[in-house]
């Protein structure tokens, strides 16, 4: 029965067993649900501020606390995914997420809300690190396709939350019901994940091991990968966080519909992920990564240079979303192929993303207020250019053959890659 194969993701030509299918569904559903989480705080902030009786400026502290929890979670759970079975950590994370989304909207103290957001951020990082680590253990042959497709469903979730929350706010003039709907769904997901099959360890015949000298400094590669994650994710969050306000300031007559530009960004991110995932069948990830970053730089330059041209800003937003959509899954895939994405490595990489998420949106916000809205877009464009330059360095330092990893830091104890063919 284990050998019986199903054909899913036919568009990408991925074949999986029954066991793998269950694993993929668990990780994809989890990452889709993380997409639902991404924009909740941004939409709910005015209502949470009213509940706590504080200004929006004070309530913004919740963003920092969420990122702080994400940072701690990335560093701690990255190690744990190497020593315990991942489904238990992932299930526990969804229990924390369910509790956080239930209590957050009914609290009346900013201090308590900040504390809950630290827990919420910790849960989020455990989910992100877990999904991106565990999916690489399903089928090594199709890691890139599985990762990219997983980030596609994440984009769908991120697109749906603004719509769902808006519908609830229209009916109730608050966000409590929306949060509670999510809470019960996350609790269901925690139970579902518990039934995910564990990854089977490959049985090999005893062979005399040959010593393979380390040809690459993996510590340097991990640092470069984390630095890319820091700059890129900080840039992406800055763009998605400021493009809405940018449209309101630059085009006052369009103010009431400024949210549509955010919807367009997420839609084109998802389309870009689908398109570039398909291209992985024909091109290596390291080559596609360069193309996506170059395309994003061009899109951002349209916005930064033609900041008063409504059409060019829209074109730049759509181009930026289309090319940025695949960057992060490619980062993870490249890291797995060239370094080995153990839980520890994932923790360091996602620690970099949390630092970027804490620092860069704030820095770009200062530019927005003190210099000009266009300066923020220039800053983001420069950051993506820096990402490209760092990746070129990593490209040169990493093994020439992506599948030849000469040294892996932190071996997986319970969940090495699943074997799709079992020898009798």
Q: Report pLDDT digits (tens) over 218-261.
A: 777 888 888 888 888 888 877 876 777 788 778 887 654 655 77
The whole-angstrom separation of Cα 64 and Cα 113 is: 12
- Mapped onto helix, strand or coil, the DSSP state of residue 68 is helix
Residue 247: the pLDDT is 80
Pairing of strands 5-8, 14-17: antiparallel
Q: What percent of the chain has pLDDT over 70?
A: 76
Q: Helix crossing, 18-38 with 86-103: angle to 10°? A: 30
CB 321 within 8 A of CB 416: no
Pick the CATH number of 218-397 from 3.40.50.620, 3.40.50.300, 3.30.1330.30, 1.20.1250.20: 1.20.1250.20
According to CATH, the topology of domain 5-194 is Growth Hormone; Chain: A; (1.20.1250)
Average pLDDT on 116-131 reads: 89
pLDDT at 341: 60
pTM value is 0.65
Diameter of the chain by CA atoms? 73
- Residue pointed to by tokens 């994440």: 154
Structure tokens at 183: 């809470």
- Mean pLDDT computed over 85-110: 91
Give CATH 1.20.1250.20 domain extents, the chain.
5-194, 218-397
Residue 340 banded pLDDT, cuts 50, 70, 90:
low
Helix (H, G, I), strand (E, B) or coil at 123: helix
Instruction: Look at residue 296 in the predicted model and tell me its pLDDT.
Output: 93
């Amino acid at each position: 029965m284990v050998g019986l194969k199903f054909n899913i993701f036919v568009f990408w030509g991925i074949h999986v067993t029954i066991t793998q299918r269950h694993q993929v569904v668990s990780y994809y559903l989890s990452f889709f649900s993380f997409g639902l989480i991404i924009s909740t705080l941004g939409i709910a902030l005015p209502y949470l501020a009213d509940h706590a009786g504080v200004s929006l400026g004070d309530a913004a502290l919740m963003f920092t606390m969420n990122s702080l929890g994400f940072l701690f979670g990335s560093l701690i759970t990255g190690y744990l995914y190497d020593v315990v079975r991942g489904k238990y950590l992932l299930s526990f994370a969804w229990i924390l997420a369910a509790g956080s989304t239930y209590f957050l909207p009914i609290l009346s103290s900013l201090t308590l809300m900040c504390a809950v957001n630290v827990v919420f951020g910790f849960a989020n990082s455990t989910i992100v690190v877990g999904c991106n680590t565990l999916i690489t253990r399903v089928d090594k042959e199709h890691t890139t396709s599985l990762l990219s497709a997983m980030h596609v469903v994440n984009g769908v979730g991120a697109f749906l939350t603004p719509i769902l929350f808006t519908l609830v706010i229209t009916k109730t003039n608050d966000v409590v019901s929306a949060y509670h709907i999510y809470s019960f769904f996350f609790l269901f997901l925690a139970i579902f994940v518990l039934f995910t099959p564990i990854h089977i360890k490959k049985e090999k015949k005893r062979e005399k091991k040959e010593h393979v000298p380390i040809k690459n400094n993996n510590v340097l590669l991990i640092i470069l990968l984390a630095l890319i994650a820091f700059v890129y994710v900080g840039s992406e969050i800055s763009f998605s966080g400021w493009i809405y306000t940018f449209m309101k300031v630059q085009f006052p007559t369009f103010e009431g519909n400024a949210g549509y530009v955010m919807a367009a960004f997420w839609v084109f991110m998802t389309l870009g992920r689908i398109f570039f995932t398909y291209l992985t069948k024909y091109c290596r990830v390291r080559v596609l990564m360069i193309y996506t970053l170059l395309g994003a730089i061009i899109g951002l330059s349209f916005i930064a240079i033609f900041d008063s041209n409504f059409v060019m800003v829209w074109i730049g937003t759509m181009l930026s979303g289309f090319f940025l959509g695949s960057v992060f899954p490619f980062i993870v895939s490249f890291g797995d192929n060239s370094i080995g994405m153990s839980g520890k490595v994932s923790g360091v990489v996602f620690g970099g993303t949390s630092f970027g998420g804490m620092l860069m949106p704030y820095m770009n916000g200062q530019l927005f207020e003190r210099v000009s809205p266009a300066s923020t877009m220039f800053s983001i464009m420069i950051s993506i250019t820096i990402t490209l330059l760092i990746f070129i360095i990593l490209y040169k330092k990493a093994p020439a053959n992506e599948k030849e990893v000469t040294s892996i830091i932190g071996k997986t104890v319970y969940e090495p890659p699943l074997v799709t063919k079992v020898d009798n």
